[in-house]
Amino acid sequence: MLIRVAAGADTADMFRVRLSVNENKATMAELARYGVTPESLPAMLSGTGRGWVAEIDGVIRAFAMADAENATIFALFVEPGAEKQGIGRRLMNEAERWLAEMGCAQIWLETDSNTQVRANGFYRYLGWQESNRQPDGQVKFIKTLSRHNV
């Protein structure tokens, strides 16, 4: 497995992975309502944003995205066939390390508040703490970064 920084050329594969997940599903139309489109994604990978992809046998199977300006990890998705191989944890480590390097002391993310959704437990396992519930049914998690994240 290869973890590398995402590039604009990875957009189609990142959308393929995003649309393949079994939980936290979204259609292209739903993503577009949040401003996430094939046209907007490359800009989210530059400046204060960065993404990472995980390749297995040369095929992108997972990705993560972070934004240092807002100190957030706003995407982490793994294809169903590539789950439970440590890919999500490795991508999260990359994102956290980069956010720490960018000077973020406390970072946040949001996910479904349903504790049956696997992401909820995954984030807790990685040391994220529930902060509060959002009006849209999401739960906000926070994590304080330390020197070991750099």
d(CA 109, CA 143): 9
pTM: 0.92
pLDDT confidence of residue 150: 55
* Bridge partners, residue 55, by sequence: 2, 60
CA dist 49 → 4, 75, 94 (Å): 15, 11, 13
pLDDT at 38 over 70: yes
Helix H or strand E segment including 99: helix 87-101
pLDDT at 147 over 70: no
- Over residues 26-36, mean pLDDT: 93
Domain layout of the chain by residue ranges: 2-149
pLDDT in tens, 87-123: 999 999 999 999 999 999 999 999 887 777 889 889 9
Strand arrangement, sheet containing 72-78? 2-5, 49-56, 59-67, 72-78, 106-112, 138-144, 129-133
User: Which of the following CATH numbers is that of domain 2-149: 2.70.98.10, 3.40.630.30, 3.30.210.10, 3.40.50.261?
Assistant: 3.40.630.30
> One-letter amino acid identity for 18?
R
Cα 68 → chain centroid:
13
Q: What is the mean pLDDT of the chain?
A: 93
